[in-house]
Amino acid sequence: MLNKINIYEYFSQTLFFMMKKFKLWVILFFIVVTVVFTWPLLPHLHNGLTIIQVDPLLNTWILSWDGHAMLHSPTGLFQANIMYPAGDVLA
């Protein structure tokens, strides 16, 4: 009976470490795939958006506002502060 318990513990620990190693390989794989598919963006993170390009900045602000509003006040999602006196500017 003692041998069966030791074998069970051995295999459960081995399986645990194998799954941990497998998960690390999967995470590494997806990091590499992300870098490959977004390659031109990675070396230009510091200067990817210029002032001349207004639409990417606006879309970035809208996504940021949506995230902020969903966390802090979901009912005020459309009451953004981009054009302050006007209401429901994102509707």
In tens, the pLDDT along 59-90 reads 888 888 889 989 998 888 888 887 777 878 87
pTM above 0.85, yes or no: no
69: which 2 tokens?
């509003």
What span, in angstroms and rounded, lies between the C-alpha atoms of 80 and 65? Answer: 7
- Identity of the amino acid at 17: F
Over the stretch 11-61, which tens digit does the pLDDT of each residue have? 777 877 888 889 999 999 999 999 999 888 778 777 766 566 668 778 888
